[in-house]
């Protein structure tokens, strides 16, 4: 069983180019989610009880922990999806190719939704931290 090479050549068909671009995109998603794992580990460590108490928000730590689980779940799903894509080279008709393309679009939506929710959570956290620091400086 061959794996799909991601280098794009002039003689590649449009479908081959699409599959290769999707493979490159998938690799980028996985690398980004791995980075988010590291970032979440740091944010969870930073948000220990002490900071949660200072922010008067016990839920922020729980939200980061929940997002960490969601990130792991999506990362595992993408690893499994990567494995399933090895059979793309065996597609013999457009219908088979379209199944892979449709599946990729579904994962793209899941990834982008996850990323949006994660960014909103980080923004919420940093807004609270910044607001708390401003309040402390005004009262000092």
Note whether residue 8 is domain-resident. Answer: no
* pLDDT for 140: 53
Note whether residue 109 is domain-resident. Answer: yes
Cα distance between residue 74 and residue 76, in whole Å? 5
What mean pLDDT, rounded, does the chain reach? 88
* pLDDT for 5: 61
* pLDDT for 85: 92
Angle between helices 94-139 and 59-84 (to 10 degrees): 160
Strand residue runs (E) in 3-139 = none
Checking if the pLDDT of 132 tops 90, the result is: no
Note whether residue 1 is domain-resident. Answer: no
Cα distance between residue 25 and residue 30, in whole Å? 9
Which residues form the domain of 77? 14-139
pTM here? 0.85
Domain count, the chain: 1
């Amino acid at each position: 069983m061959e794996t799909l090479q991601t280098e794009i050549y002039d003689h590649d068909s449009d479908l081959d180019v699409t599959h290769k671009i999707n493979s490159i995109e998938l690799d980028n998603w996985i690398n980004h989610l791995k980075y988010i794992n590291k970032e979440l580990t740091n944010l969870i460590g930073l948000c220990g009880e002490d900071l949660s108490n200072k922010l008067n928000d016990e839920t922020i730590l729980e939200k980061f922990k929940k997002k960490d689980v969601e990130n792991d779940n999506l990362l595992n799903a993408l690893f499994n999806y990567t494995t399933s894509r090895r059979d793309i080279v065996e597609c013999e008709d457009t219908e088979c190719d379209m199944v892979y393309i449709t599946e990729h679009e579904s994962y793209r939506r899941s990834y982008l939704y996850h990323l949006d929710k994660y960014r909103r959570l980080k923004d919420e956290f940093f807004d609270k931290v910044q607001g708390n620091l401003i309040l402390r400086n005004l009262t000092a």
